Structure 1
Amino acid sequence: MASQVPISASLHTHTSFVSMFNGHNYTEWCEQIQFHLGVLELDLALHVDKPAAITDTSSEGEISVHTAWERSNRLSLMLMRMTIASNIKSTLPPTEKAKDFIKLVGERSQTADKSLAGTLMATLTTIKFDGSRSMYEHVMEMTNIAARLKSLEMNVDDNFLVQFVLNSLPPEYGPFQMNYNTMKDKWNVNELHSMLVQEETRLKNQGTHSVHLITNQGAGKKVGRKNKKGKQGPLKVNESSVQIHKKDLSHLKCRFCVKPGHFQKDCSKRKAWFERKGIQYDPAHKRN
């Protein structure tokens, strides 16, 4: 018994490193169980059937193997039961052999895996990039979903995954998609990932996001280019940004700097004039 105390303590420690089986992670859980039992040299019962019962005629070798198997089986069952969620563990029938128990858990997980696979596939084909996080994170999530499907024996071809990523892009990435479709050579997921991150940076630098446009307008900057007639040209922005900036400001004229596009109270030159004179700035102040 004294020699088993360190093993029992070590078994408890190893339990904390095994992922809790929740019905959807059988492959990960099974690999960790086999690894830790192997490290503890307690995996005999997972690979060898139960030896014949000990009799008066049994040899010392047979007795030794039987004893080792019984100990391996008992502690293996203990470790597996300790790492299964309570709501699942209560539905499993009593099992005396570790080899049968791990097989039973695998069979129970197959039903849950089919349901999970359907959910993951639906997510992969309908997910959209909405700008709430970076492009890097968006593509990584889709790649991880494809990897989870593969673990459920549903391989997603690389070409299909590339198309799913392209389908998830918003309208402002339309030119990027058109250029890709006209290319003779196609990219794999990693290449597409890298190019999309670059495209995201390019679009941000161009100020296509409506947040950037609102900030620029508040600072008194002109939006868009003007043609020869002095009319404001079309904005290279997405649809939501266009809707925000529908109002044409070209008819407005500042009474201070005599330039169109803003009111006197919003004139940056007027504010600077007040500061040079040492007068506290008052937007409502009228020029003499």
Structure 2
Amino acid sequence: MDYDLALREDEPQALDNNNTVEQRLKFEKWEKANRMALLVIKRSISEAVRGGIPATDKAKDFLEAIEAKFKVSEKGEMGNLMTTLTTLKYHGKGTVREHILKLVEAAAKLTDLEVPIDDAFVVHMALNSLPDAYEQLKTSYNTQKEKWSLNDLISICVQEESRIKRVSNETVNFIKAETTRKTISTSGKPYKPFSYSHAAGNDTPSSSKGSQGFKGNIENIKCYFCKEFGHLKRDCEKRKKWAPKKGNKIENRKVNKRVQWPCS
């Protein structure tokens, strides 16, 4: 709506009786744009900030007063931009395109502050800021004689990001499938394998009762009640004495043996 006319053009000369119709229309248009621009600027800032700005009738002068209040030291801003360009790392938050564009933005602002930054330097810093997953891309760049432009770097990094995500998803799905296969039995119930790691070697329990049911060295069998070696928990004498005092009954487990009947 051409409300920024008062910011782009200077104020016309004041009207008098010798002005033409065209000059009067131009002055009225500029005056209307100045009032609207001043109103928009004041409505867009908070009341606390507005109270600290000197009052003026011209929008251009009002903007200059705001600039004076919020002027930033060029040296401080230059140091912050250099820190961002040299220390910013990509940790997987967002996309790699956004990360590289942040570095490009910092380099562009440094150029505006009369600190020109070469594109090759930005490409080098962007590659160094990538994690170890992009090590293959870094090696490819170092082995080539040609230098990449910023646009080439962004395009190649986006493709590499897609490849890394695809490989990562395939690895996660493979591990999940292997875990599910090992922990779920054919009946659909969780499979909890019994461990004989407390016994010697690869010994397995036999069908006889008591600690003698384990082949191998009985001294390597640990009781889970008294924490001593040489017997099982069901054969522990301390447990047999402890159970009646607590009101517990120890029932001996019966082993069902398969009986083979002779053929008729």
Residue in structure 2 matching 1:219, options 168, 171, 177: 177
Cα deviation digits, residues 223-244 of structure 1 (max 9, x gap): xxxxxxxxxxxxxxxxxxxxxx
Once the two structures are superposed, the pairs formed by residues 146-225 of structure 1 within 5 Å of their partners are 146-147=107-108, 155-207=116-168, 216-220=174-178
Q: Check 1:53–1:214 CA distance in 2 against 1; reply closer, same or farther (3 A cut).
A: closer
Contact 2:78 2:113 in 1 (8 A): yes
Is the 8 Å Cα contact of residues 7 and 60 (structure 2) preserved in structure 1? Answer: yes
Q: Is the contact made by 2:74 and 2:113 (CA closer than 8 Å) also made in structure 1?
A: yes
- Residue 106 of structure 1: how far off its partner (Å): 3.8
SS in 1 for 2:130: coil
Match of 2:41 in 1: 80
Match of 1:48 in 2: 10
Shift of 1:215: 5.1
State the shift of 1:191 in Å: 0.6
The 1:213–1:101 alpha-carbon spacing in structure 2 relative to 1, beyond 3 Å, is same
What SS does the corresponding residue of 1:37 show, helix, strand or coil? coil
Contiguous gaps of at least 5 residues in structure 1: 1-13, 15-35, 222-264
CA shift, 1:195, in A, is: 1.4
Q: TM-score, normalised by structure 2?
A: 0.55
Q: Residue 187 of structure 1: CA displacement?
A: 0.2
Amino acid in the other structure paired with 1:90: G
Q: Is 1:37 equivalent to 2:3 in the alignment? A: yes
Q: In structure 2, how many angstroms separate the alpha carbons of the residues matched to 1:132 and 1:46? A: 41
Tell me whether 1:283 sits opposite 2:222 in the alignment. no
Provide the TM-score with structure 1 as the length reference. Answer: 0.51
> Counterpart of 1:74 in structure 2: which amino acid?
R
- What amino acid is aligned across from residue 20 of structure 2 in structure 1? G
Deviation of the 1:112 alpha carbon: 6.7
Separation (CA, whole Å) in 2 of partners of 1:96 and 1:267: 78
Taking the aligned partners of 2:3 and 2:144, their CA distance within structure 1 comes to 52
Question: 1:168-200 CA deviation, whole Å, 9 max, x = no partner?
Answer: 011232332232122111001111111122223
Picking from 131, 135, 160, the partner of 2:92 is: 131
- The answer as to whether partners of 2:54 and 2:65 remain within 8 angstroms in 1 is no
Cα 1:69–1:45, aligned 2, differ >3 Å: closer, same or farther? farther
What's the CA shift for 1:127? Answer: 1.5
CA drift at 1:47:
2.1
Query: In the alignment, is the contact (CA less than 8 A) between 1:146 and 1:156 conserved in 2?
Result: yes
Aligned amino acid, residue 179 of structure 1: S
Seq. identity, %: 30
Q: Is the 8 A contact 2:89 2:129 kept in 1?
A: yes
CA distance in structure 2 between the partners assigned to 1:122 and 1:142 by the alignment? 10
Seen in structure 2, the aligned counterparts of structure 1 residues 267 and 60 have a Cα distance that, compared at 3 Å, is: closer
SS at match of 2:3: helix
Is 1:122 the counterpart of 2:88 in the alignment? no
Q: Deviations over 1:27-83 (max 9, x none)?
A: xxxxxxxxx415xxxx257523463475xxx32539936655544443332233223
Kindly provide the amino acid, as one letter, of the partner of residue 178 in structure 2: G
How far the C-alpha of 1:162 sits from its partner, in A, is 0.8
Asked if the contact 1:46/1:98 (under 8 Å) is kept, the reply is: no
1:92 partner amino acid: I
Larger Cα Rg: Structure 1 or Structure 2? 2
Mark the CA change 1:179 to 1:44 in structure 2 (over 3 Å): closer, same or farther.
closer
In the TM superposition, residue 93 of structure 1 has moved relative to its aligned partner by 1.3
Counterpart of 2:217? none
Contact 1:81/1:89, CA 8 A, preserved across alignment:
yes
